[in-house]
Amino acid sequence: MSNLQIGLILIGALFVVGIFIFNWWQQRSHRRKTESLFESKHEDVLLGDFKPDSMLDDRVEHQLVDIGEEIIQEEPALTEEIADEIEFKPLESPAHFVDAEIDYISEIQTKNLIGAEEIADIFRRKFDFGKAVSVYGLNVDSGCWEEPHAKPKYMNFKVALQLVDRSGVITLAKLSEFRDLVVAMAANLQASEHCPEIGEAHARAIQLDKFCAEVDRLIGINVMSRGEETFAGTKIRGLAEASGFRLESDGTFKYFDEHGVHLFSLCNHEPAVFLPDGIRHLSTHGITFLLDVPRVAQGKQAFDQMIALAKSFSSTLGGVIVDDKRLMLNDAGFDKIRKLLQEIKAKMEGRQIAPGGERALRLFS
């Protein structure tokens, strides 16, 4: 055996002995601290007044668990009570929560309090399904549903995928993928989950999408120039801003009511959009007023206001008011549109989807 091999064996042996000594020292130190802790508590109990066994047990339990476990054990009644209520508890604010008709709603019930970071998978994949995903947790401290964030702890979650929007209905494949994600997430948390049957949810979504297609109307009123004349962009902007329109980043002017609710828009009838830097050099043969019917609460009143502004613009610019087929619009034509607006409103309200309401804004987005 060479000197090198002998040296390596000795170094290895010394290393093993060192680990043994270090472990022995740690165990001895820990034993002393533990004995000291129990000595002081026993003295308090023996010298003080008598307390029932249940109280003594509670105090000993709190001394032996770590901080995280102690928090859970100190308020088991609260968390269990909330967990019992959640499954059937009505939503406190349906307009800002999830909707049983519009969303596929899955539920996760955990055994322990968890933080938002433990359901991070759903946030990472939030944009993978082509529809809006919303997540709400029940904050055990406040007893309120909220979008999960860092510090609070939660016991139950509702994870929802919107089934229908303006791009159409969710595909069955995407719905299945979402369901599988929720199931896998619950399994990782050792939690129970409830996911509705996806076939039924998809069939319901198809019917809702058909209804939305029936009432999804965009009413356009055009102010066109006469002959080969054009309207100057600077003049259009001056009229628009004087009338209360606001130029937005998408290149359209938008008109809002006193509460900041968007009522209708003004855009270029030609492909070029109104941009702050380019509008001074822009000229066009026409402009278009647009009313997005399902997204406006008082459609008839908004339409009347839009017509009044269209007439004002037409008079100032020297244009004519026509429909999309370039046919002149008169009061009889406007009355037909008002009747259509009333019919759409009645249809939507019959489905509890009020025009301009929270549900309509979600479906027609």
User: What is the per-residue pLDDT for 84?
Assistant: 42
Q: For residue range 235-248, what is the model confidence (pLDDT) as tens digits?
A: 999 999 999 999 99
Q: Which two tokens stand for residue 274?
A: 């109104």
What pLDDT does residue 111 have? 86
Give CA–CA dist 290/302, Å, rounded: 11
Say yes or no to pLDDT of 194 above 50. Answer: yes
The C-alpha atoms of residue 276 and residue 68 are separated, in whole angstroms, by 56
Mean pLDDT, the chain, whole residue set: 81
Find out whether 322 and 285 touch, Cβ atoms under 8 Å.
Answer: no
Rama region for 143: left / alpha / beta (φ>0; ψ in -120 to 50; rest) = left
- What is the pLDDT confidence band of residue 78, given thresholds at 50, 70 and 90? very low
pLDDT digits (tens, 9 = 90+) for 126-154: 999 999 999 999 998 888 889 998 888 89
Q: What is the pLDDT of residue 19?
A: 61
For residues 232 and 248, give the distance between their C-alpha atoms in angstroms, rounded to a whole number.
19
pLDDT of residue 270: 96
Whether residue 18 has pLDDT greater than 70: no
pLDDT at 49: 39
What is the token pair recorded at 118?
Answer: 């433990």
Q: What is the pLDDT of residue 92?
A: 46
Q: Phi and psi for 3 in degrees, rounded to 5?
A: -60, -35
- pTM value is 0.70
Mean pLDDT to the nearest integer, 177-189: 94
So what's the pLDDT on residue 55? 34
**Is 192 a residue whose pLDDT tops 50?**
yes
79, pLDDT greater than 90: no
- The torsion angles phi and psi of 254, rounded to 5 degrees, stand at -120, 145
Both structure tokens of 35? 């004995």
Judged against a pLDDT cut of 80, whether residue 186 lies above it is answered with: yes
